[in-house]
Amino acid sequence: MIHVVNGPNLNLLGRREPEVYGTRNLKSIQKELEELAFVNNEKLNFMQSNHEGELIDYLQALNEGDRVILNPGALAHTSIGLRDCIVGTGIEVVEVHISNIHAREPFRHTSVVSPVCRGVITGLGADVYRLALTWFIERV
């Protein structure tokens, strides 16, 4: 199973700062991913929360072998708890960011989550989700 996990404010995609995040909403991204997963016989589960603890609880409940596409949003820059959860559970995570965090405000340049993820895809708009999913599918 592949889990697509989104952190704070990603429920506002499509209307939040479209010049930065584009005009696609989370539902349309989810639909595209479901179609790609279906044709590749892969199962997906989606989760979004604005609460750090809910994200951590969700990740801790995953099964061995589950894979995660994680857009931690702003928690990438602040959440040692999320980082420690990834390390402690041993889950395989690809971190994604719609915007290029390295081309934005200096406080966004460092992700405390990136060093414990399998990979990071950033700055390619909503396509980051599809690219991460394709990578997981092709590895199976």
Look up residue 46 and give its amino acid: F
Residue pair 34/44 in contact by the 8 Å Cβ criterion: yes
Task: Give the long-range contacts of residues 24-32, CB within 8 A, separation 24 or more.
Answer: 24/125, 24/126, 29/126, 29/129, 30/4, 32/129, 32/130
What is the rounded average pLDDT for all residues in the chain? 94
> What is the extent of the structural domain holding 8?
2-139
Q: Is the pLDDT of residue 111 over 90?
A: yes
Q: Catalytic amino acids?
A: 21, 97
Q: Is the pLDDT of residue 21 over 90?
A: no
What domain count does the chain have? 1
38-70: pLDDT as tens digits: 999 999 999 999 999 999 999 999 988 899 999
The CATH number given to whatever domain includes residue 98 is: 3.40.50.9100
